[in-house]
Homo-oligomer: A and B are copies of this chain.
Amino acid sequence: MNDSFHVYDTTLRDGAQQEGLALSVADKLVIARQLDGLGVGFIEGGWPGAIPKDTEFFERARTELDLKHAQLAAFGMTRRADLAAADDPQVAALRDSLAPVVTLVAKAHDRHVELALRTTLDECLAMVRDTVEHLVSEGRRVFVDAEHFFNGYQDNPAYALEFVRTAAEAGASLVALCDTNGGMLPSELGDVVHTVIERTGARVGIHCHDDSGCAVANSLIAIEAGATHVQGAANGYGERTGNANLFTIVANLQLKKNLHVVPDDSLAEMTRIAHAISEVTNIAPHTKQPYVGFSAFAHKAGIHASAVKADPMLYQHIDPEVVGNDMRMLVSEMAGRASIELKGRELGYDLSGDRDALSRITEKVKVLEAQGHSFEAADASFELLILDELKGEESQRFFDVESWRVIVEQRQDGSHMSEATVKLHARGERIISVGEGNGPVNALDTALRNAIGQIYPELAELELRDYKVRILEGDHGSSSRTRVLVTTTDGRDEWATVGVQENIVAASWNAIVEAVTYGLLKLEG
């Protein structure tokens, strides 16, 4: 992408401040790949040097991340007061992360400099100048986040403007004006952005929070006023009410402001990416999220029904397909045949020639999703479902399960024991096997491998990578269901499978059986 306008994602840093969100390094790598798939320009990976997990992220990113669109940015503070930038270990950690971009945060509100930083305004400006100059001389591109800029501008506009000038003159590519408390409203914010650009001539970005419910609008208004760099987080994650929702901003810019900020074909991946990230964060997707929410194009029948039939665009602000979402009629049986066909094509199956199979698959997906399956995050399970329909269930059955049992025990000394037995049939044999593990799922997995490992030695290559559980609310008084997502790897690729059952162990077993089946298909094929 060209450099004239930046989509800068801060999910992994500021978004991770959301209550209930805790990302491992592996989670961060997965999310970074998804964001790169969307085509964002920059991914802020975290704060190396301050947070050990983030230091590790940048290390692993060098070998494990192969980004196509995005550049990584390391976030951190300017040098401490009364210390040379080159001697500050925190600044060194930013440099040593080897991220091509460093985003420095510093206080643009005089009260914060005095109360929180406990230094003078002059020293704070010197900290900005020195750190920017040092990192630029080390070959890094430097962005500056002007923290609390808008409150600062209200209280002391001279200092706030001087802050922007100082950063720009020291060599920062741009200064992102931050509404850190998230309390701004659009008109007031737009006026300030306009004035800052006029008075300083600096390149300006915008970073909003949603405390007034205006984060997206504030970002758009800032861009109209001349900002050419916008920060936000996937799904609007972030502290308190969240950061500006990057997905909503990108879709608004691309579809309504004629700003080409991500590739068009990436935009059609947005819904899938939003949901895939939800699965990694294990935070239930917000169904009403603009553009990508499950309900975003759901029409309740009634006054709208006939008009929607005549022309869906009468009741939709955009065609949902351009963001990879679907229109849903909440009473009728209209369904996502088109998206299933698209998804099949993506996995290498042309369903367009077989309308019957397409209908059967669509119907099956609808039934299973209604029961709580989530194929968006479980491509492998979806592919097995397609194969069931196209080739028959038998073609992919490597074993038939008769029964299984797990015992988990806490002994008197406080230690734990998990033991599983599995009874199954494979290649005409009846096999009984036992497995131990550090938990019931691990024990079952071991027992399954013990049972069929000799018949299918390639099983040894498969490894359970991740395991996620979500309890789904029961509707209409039925008891709740458990959804388990399992990620498996053969050392080269990863695939995800899903299991849904009332019983968490049974749901896990189903996901593991699909994971192993898919792995065997893949390794044998």
Show the binding face of A for B, using Cβ within 8 Å: 17-20, 22, 24-26, 51, 111-112, 115-116, 148, 180-183, 185-187, 210-214, 216-218, 220-221, 224, 236, 239-242, 245, 248-249, 252, 256-257, 282, 286-291, 293, 295-301, 306-307, 310-311, 314-318, 330, 332, 334, 374, 376-377, 401-412, 416, 418, 438-441, 466-473, 479, 482, 501-506, 509
Q: CA A506 – CA B318 in complex, angstroms?
A: 48
Contact at A409–B416, with CB atoms within 8 Å?
no
Which of B213, B242, B307, B469 contacts A469, CB < 8 Å?
B469
A295 contacts which of B19, B181, B441 (Cβ < 8 Å)?
A: B19
Complex CA–CA separation, A217 to B20 (angstroms): 28
Q: A307 with B112: in contact, given A210-B290, A301-B17 (CB under 8 Å)? A: yes
Some 16 contacts from A to B, beta carbons below 8 A apart, are A19-B376, A116-B306, A148-B314, A212-B248, A212-B252, A212-B256, A214-B216, A214-B217, A214-B252, A242-B288, A416-B506, A418-B505, A438-B479, A439-B502, A439-B506, A441-B504
Bound Cα distance A18, B301 (Å): 10
Cβ contacts under 8 Å, A404 to chain B: 409-410
Distance between Cα atoms of A401 and B414 in the complex (Å): 9
B505 touches A211 (CB 8 A): no
Contact B468 A301 (CB under 8 A): no
Known: A241-B288, A406-B408. A212 touches B317 (CB 8 A): yes
Query: Per a CB cutoff under 8 Å, which of B214, B249, B288, B315 touches A220?
Result: B214
Given contacts A376-B20, A408-B440, A479-B438, contact A248 B298 (CB under 8 A): no
Give complex CA distance A155, B18 in Å. Answer: 42
Let me know if B289 and A241 touch, CB within 8 A: yes
Residues A314 and B115 in contact, CB atoms below 8 Å apart: yes
A17 to B330 alpha-carbon distance, docked (Å): 10
- B51, B256, B408, B438: the one contacting A185 at CB < 8 Å is B256
**Selected contact of A468 from candidates B181, B418, B469, CB within 8 Å:** B469
- Checking B17, B252, B407 against A213 with a beta-carbon cut-off of 8 angstroms, the contacting residue is B252
Taking a contact as CB atoms under 8 Å apart, the answer to whether A406 and B403 are in contact is: no
20 A-B pairs besides A20-B376, A410-B506 with CB distance below 8 A are A19-B295, A19-B376, A24-B473, A115-B310, A186-B221, A212-B290, A212-B317, A216-B217, A239-B299, A240-B295, A241-B289, A405-B410, A406-B408, A408-B408, A416-B502, A416-B506, A438-B503, A439-B506, A469-B470, A504-B504
> Contacts A239-B298, A288-B210; is A317 near B181 (CB within 8 Å)?
yes
- Residue contact A290 to B213, C-beta cutoff 8 Å: yes
Considering the chains assembled together, what is the distance between the CA atoms of A116 and B473 in angstroms? Answer: 35
Chain B residue at minimal CB-CB distance from A409: B405
User: How long is the Cα–Cα vector from A148 to B249 in the complex, in angstroms?
Assistant: 23
Instruction: Tell whether, in the assembled complex, residue A25 and residue B473 are in contact, meaning their CB atoms are under 8 Å apart.
Output: yes
Whole-angstrom CA separation of A63 from B218 in the bound complex = 45
> In the complex, which of the residues B213, B245, B505 contacts A439, with contact meaning CB atoms closer than 8 Å?
B505
Please determine whether A212 and B216 come into contact, CB atoms closer than 8 angstroms.
yes
Question: B residues within 8 A CB of A217?
Answer: 185-186, 213-214, 216-218, 221
Q: Are A301 and B239 in contact (CB under 8 A)?
A: yes
Which residue of the partner chain, among B20, B287, B374, contacts A377 with CB atoms under 8 Å?
Answer: B20
Whole-angstrom distance from the CB of A153 to the nearest CB of chain B?
15
* Chain B min CB distance to A464 (Å): 9
Interface centre among A182, A252, A408, A416, by most B CB within 10 Å? A408
Question: Could you say which residues of chain B place their CB within 8 Å of the CB of A180?
Answer: 315
A220 near B186 with CB under 8 A, answer yes
